[in-house]
């Protein structure tokens, strides 16, 4: 695709990833093309013409682009619409995601009769905003120790956390979820060894990261991931220096020391709220955090969008009516005979009866009014 920060879902060789369904003198079912545009970038040009049509002579071309809200896109401030029907969305936002359709009309002239015939072609693009996933790094290392009960084990762990945080603090990164456990390990040709299994996460969202993002002129996720990568590299370099020091600066290894080649790291991805990964729907953009589709949502930093739970308002109202009817049937309350609760009282086996005059709160002239009944009183 040409231009912008988008990704297409189409085989190589097609014209800008477009697919068209051609129906003479009318519009038929639309084939769709998925296009992925990184937030805050310009989309690629969407072309209202397929490859075959672009190689032919076309007479009296006209284009009509309709956006997700059903409005004509011509003249909109956020679009670049060329005279040849190419469409680009500028500064793409997640709210701009949706179906973009183009209707191309042109004329065919008969070779003999010069009779004009109108032809319409329809093109549909499903355009999705996406973000790069936020990166954090899960790291694990091991330290040899004389025994698991040593008080120095916990002291080393606390000192390690402080040291690592100091190394990466200027990057607005931090060490989170640190933990360690001591295990006895049998190593081939070395016998039994006590080792501290230490794990932690390098996270790029230390206090103050929002202020850092405000200084970035483009989307902050790229800068955030670069900071996380730099922090991960610094941590790895720190443990490489431990190995060097053990080999060149100590004749005898300390009681607690880093185990060479025990450093391991795994990247952890997360998506911003409102975005998620879907390897089935968006298999042509598998690493993208794509805006959640209608009917789904993501309120946190999970990797996937969740299906919206349908509110059961009607059921709730029905339950409230049933409870109200039950309460009314079991209390000496006057209700009109035509009340919606009167049949419920009858079904419950309670025969409506006239309320005693002493308990009526109505004027004296209403005593004989047949519409004023007591539900469940059992009297006459």
| Domain extent listing, the chain | 6-131, 134-270, 329-374
- pLDDT tens profile 286-334: 889 999 988 899 988 888 899 988 765 555 555 565 565 555 444 444 4
H/E run at residue 298: none
Is 361 a residue whose pLDDT tops 50?
no
User: Mean pLDDT across the stretch 98-125?
Assistant: 86
Q: Is pLDDT at 77 greater than 70 in this prediction?
A: yes
- What's the average model confidence in pLDDT over 85-108? 92
Which of the pair, 367 or 255, is modelled with greater confidence?
255
Which residues does 68 contact at the CB level (< 8 Å), separation at least 6?
96, 97, 98, 99, 100
pLDDT of 114-168, one tens digit each? Answer: 788 888 889 999 999 999 999 999 999 999 999 999 999 999 999 999 999 999 9
Average pLDDT value for the chain: 78
Distance CA 166, CA 169 (A): 5
Residue-wise pLDDT for 156-202, tens only, equals 999 999 999 999 999 999 999 999 999 999 878 777 889 999 999 99
Average pLDDT over residues 49-68: 85
- What confidence score (pLDDT) does residue 12 get? 31
Task: Calculate what percentage of the chain has a pLDDT beyond 70.
Answer: 72
Please report, rounded to a whole number, the percentage of residues in the chain having pLDDT higher than 90. 45
pLDDT at site 377: 36
Question: What count of other Cβ atoms lies within 10 Å of the Cβ of residue 94?
Answer: 18
Query: What does CATH list as the number for 6-131?
Result: 2.60.40.10
Please tell me the predicted confidence (pLDDT) of residue 323.
61
Q: Residue 223 pLDDT more than 80? A: yes
Q: 134-270, which class in CATH?
A: alpha beta
DSSP letters, 137-191, are EEEEEEEEES-TT-HHHHHHHHHHHHHHHHHHGGGT-EEEEEEEEEEEEEETTTE
| 52 pLDDT more than 50 | yes
Look at residue 276 in the predicted model and tell me its pLDDT: 93
Please give the pLDDT value at position 218: 67
User: In the structure encoding, which two tokens stand for residue 78, read together?
Assistant: 């956020």
Q: Is the pLDDT of residue 359 over 60?
A: no
pLDDT digits (tens, 9 = 90+) for 8-29: 443 333 333 333 333 333 344 4
Candidates 157, 165, 159, 252; CA nearest to 197 is 157
At 188 the pLDDT is 80
- What is the C-alpha end-to-end distance of the chain, expressed in Å? 86
pTM: 0.66
Backbone angles phi, psi at 120, to 5 degrees: -125, 135
């Amino acid at each position: 695709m040409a231009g912008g920060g988008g990704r297409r879902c189409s085989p190589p060789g097609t014209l800008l990833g477009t697919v068209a369904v051609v129906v003479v003198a009318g519009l038929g079912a639309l084939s769709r093309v998925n296009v992925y545009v990184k937030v805050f970038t310009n989309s690629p040009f969407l072309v209202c013409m397929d490859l075959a049509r672009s190689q032919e002579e076309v007479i009296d071309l006209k284009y009509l682009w309709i956006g997700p809200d059903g409005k004509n896109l011509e003249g909109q401030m956020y679009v670049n619409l060329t005279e040849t029907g190419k469409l680009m969305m500028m500064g793409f936002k997640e709210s701009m995601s949706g179906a973009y359709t183009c209707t191309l009309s042109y004329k065919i002239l008969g070779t003999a009769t010069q009779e004009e015939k109108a032809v319409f072609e329809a093109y549909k693009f499903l355009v999705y905003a996406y973000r790069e996933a936020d990166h954090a790094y899960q790291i694990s290392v091991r330290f040899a120790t004389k025994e698991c009960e040593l008080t120095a084990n916990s002291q080393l762990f606390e000192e390690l956390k402080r040291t690592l945080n100091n190394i990466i603090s200027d990057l607005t990164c931090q060490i989170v979820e640190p933990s360690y456990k001591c295990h006895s390990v049998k190593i081939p040709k070395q016998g039994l060894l006590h080792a501290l299994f230490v794990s932690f996460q390098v996270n790029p969202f230390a206090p103050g990261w929002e202020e850092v993002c405000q200084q970035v002129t483009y989307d902050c996720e790229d800068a955030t991931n670069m900071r996380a990568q730099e922090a991960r590299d610094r941590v790895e370099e720190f443990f490489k220096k431990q190995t060097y020091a053990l080999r060149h600066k100590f004749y005898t290894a300390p009681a607690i020391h880093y185990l060479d080649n025990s450093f391991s790291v795994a990247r952890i991805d997360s998506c911003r709220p409102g975005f998620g990964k879907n390897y089935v729907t968006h298999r042509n953009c598998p690493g993208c955090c794509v805006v959640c589709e209608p009917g789904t949502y993501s309120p946190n930093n999970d990797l996937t969008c969740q299906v919206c739970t349908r509110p059961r308002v009607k059921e709730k109202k029905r339950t409230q009516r049933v409870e109200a009817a039950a309460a009314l049937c079991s209390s000496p309350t006057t209700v009109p005979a035509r009340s919606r609760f009167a049949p419920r009282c009858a079904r419950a086996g309670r025969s409506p009866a006239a309320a005693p005059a002493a308990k009526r709160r109505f004027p004296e002239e209403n005593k004989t009014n047949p519409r004023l009944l007591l539900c469940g009183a059992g009297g006459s």
